Amino acid sequence: MNQTNTSRRVAIVTGGIGGLGTEICRHLARAGRQVVALDLAARSERVAAFHDELAEFGDAIGFAPLDVSNFDSCQQAIAQIENRYGSVDIVVNAAGITRDASLRKMTPQQWHELMQVNLDGVFNICRNVVDGMSARGFGRIVNISSVNGQTGQFGQTNYSAAKAGVHGFSMALARETARKGITVNTVSPGYCDTPMVAAVPDDIRAQIIAGIPVGRLGAPADIARAVAFLTADDAGYITGANLPVNGGYFMSF
Ligand code: CAA
């Protein structure tokens, strides 16, 4: 591995104990990063399972409880992480939820809950790291979008809007920070083997899988390796980009 990729920079991963987040933590730790997973602590068995699964990494992967939809909590969590581990140089915003319903059935609560996590959460984290990254002249931000932000999906006006918004946000922030050594990109996963996709009704999921040219759901590792690539120290010339990782489900350029 390139020497410049192995520095012990501090990386935070929101949704860090989730379907994609756990694997992203693993890949960043393997790249030599000090990782802190940020996620809801409400279900203690979920946190315990995360620690068990990643026990081999020891202190190289930590956990801190956080609700990304709360700006003040994000500010406090990042301050605490910086006190304990040092400056946050790498951010992966992977916290995301679904609240699927066709628009004619969608409640304002389903709309707002989703926006608060999937879109406000990205603002709440980025707003609290970007000054430090700018001052130090280095930063890598990867926001997890979705193929459904690119194409729209039946039953996901909220999710598709938020995920398309995540890429708009990323392009704008990429322009604002390009001269400061910070890159901001999105990764757009297709349908992956995660609890979120497992919750899609069986018949609909089977139809979706039948339409994936590669012929299978994505593995979390397929996404995590794209994140590791974009957060490498020597990935400084890729910014404002969207990297689709969808098994050919949606092809564009
Ligand atoms: N395209 C066109 N029409 C569709 C349709 C589709 N994809 N799906 C349903 N319909 C039609 C039905 O045939 C039905 O028609 P009739 O009224 O003529 O009988 C009508 O729409 C049903 O509409 P409803 O509003 O009543 O829909 P519903 O309540 O039965 O189900 C839903 C809506 C819960 C959203 C369901 O369609 C669903 O779960 N869809 C899957 C959504 C999905 O893919 N989510 C992805 C989650 S994973 C993820 O998001 C990760 C990622 O990034 C990829």
CA 234 to chain centre: 20
| Joined tokens for residue 196 | 């979120």
Phi, psi angles (nearest 5°) of residue 41: -105, 5
Model confidence, pTM: 0.96
Which atom of ligand 1 is found nearest the CA of 101? 35
Per-residue model confidence (pLDDT) at position 184: 99
Q: Is 159 a catalytic residue?
A: yes
CA of 239 to the centre of ligand 1 (A): 34
CA of 205 to the centre of ligand 1 (A): 11
Mean pLDDT of 165-186: 98
**CB-facing half-sphere around the CA of 201: CA atoms within 13 A:** 6
Best of 102, 188, 208 to mutate for ligand 1, by most ligand atoms within 8 A of CB?
102
Mean pLDDT of 164-191: 98
121-157 confidence digits (pLDDT tens): 999 999 999 999 999 999 999 999 999 999 999 999 9
What is the fold of 3-244? Rossmann fold (3.40.50)
Per-residue model confidence (pLDDT) at position 219: 98
CA of 247 to the centre of ligand 1 (A): 22
* pLDDT-based confidence at residue 7 (cuts at 50, 70, 90): low
